[in-house]
A = this chain, B = another copy of it.
Amino acid sequence: MTRASSRRPGPPTRTERGIPEATVARLPVYLRALTALSDSGIATASSEDLATAAGVNSAKLRKDLSYLGSYGTRGVGYDVEYLRYQIAREIGVTQDWAVVIVGIGNLGHALANYSGFGTRGFRIVALLDADPNLIGERIGDMEVRDFAELEDIVKADRVSIGVITTPAGPAQGVCDRLVAAGVTSILNFAPVVLSVPTGVDIRKVDLSIELQILAYHEQRKSGEAALPQVPELPAMNGLTDLPSVGGGVGA
User: Given A13-B239, A247-B196 in contact, is the A203-B212 Cβ separation under 8 Å?
Assistant: no
Binds B, one of A16-24, A76-84, A147-155: A16-24
- Count copies of this chain in the complex: 2
Contacts of A228 in B (CB 8 A): none
- On whether the beta carbons of A208 and B246 are closer than 8 Å, the reply is no
Min CB distance A209 to B, Å, is 4
- In the complex, which residues of chain B have a beta carbon less than 8 angstroms from the beta carbon of A213? 24-25, 28, 203
Contact yes or no, B246 A201, CB < 8 A: yes
Q: Contact partner of A248 among B9, B232, B239, B241, CB < 8 A?
A: B9
Does residue A37 face the partner (Cβ distance < 8 Å to B)?
A: no
Residues of B with C-beta under 8 A to A208: 28, 32, 116-117, 120, 122
Pick the interface stretch among A58-66, A105-113, A125-133. Answer: A105-113
B110 in contact with A216 (CB, 8 Å): no
Q: Is A54 on the interface with B (CB-CB < 8 A)?
A: yes
Is residue A138 contacting chain B, with contact meaning CB distance below 8 A? no
Once the chains are docked, how many angstroms separate the CA of A77 from the CA of B200? 32
Say yes or no: is A210 at the interface (Cβ < 8 Å to chain B): yes
B-side contacts of A232, CB under 8 Å: 16-17
Interface residues of A in 128-163 (CB under 8 A from B): 160-161
Closest to A55 in B: B193
- Shortest C-beta distance, A188 to chain B (Å), equals 8
Within 8 Å of chain B (Cβ to Cβ): is A1?
A: no
Asked if residues A249 and B202 are in contact (CB atoms below 8 Å), the reply is yes
* CB-nearest residue of chain B to A235: B15
Contact with B along A177-210 (1 / 0, CB 8 A): 0000000111100010101111111111111111
Q: Does A199 lie within 8 Å of B246, measured CB to CB? A: yes
Knowing A97-B215, A110-B106 touch, does A15 contact B198 (C-beta < 8 A)? no
Residues in B whose Cβ lies below 8 Å from that of A121: 211-212, 215
A6, A120, A203: most-surrounded residue (chain B CB, <10 A): A203
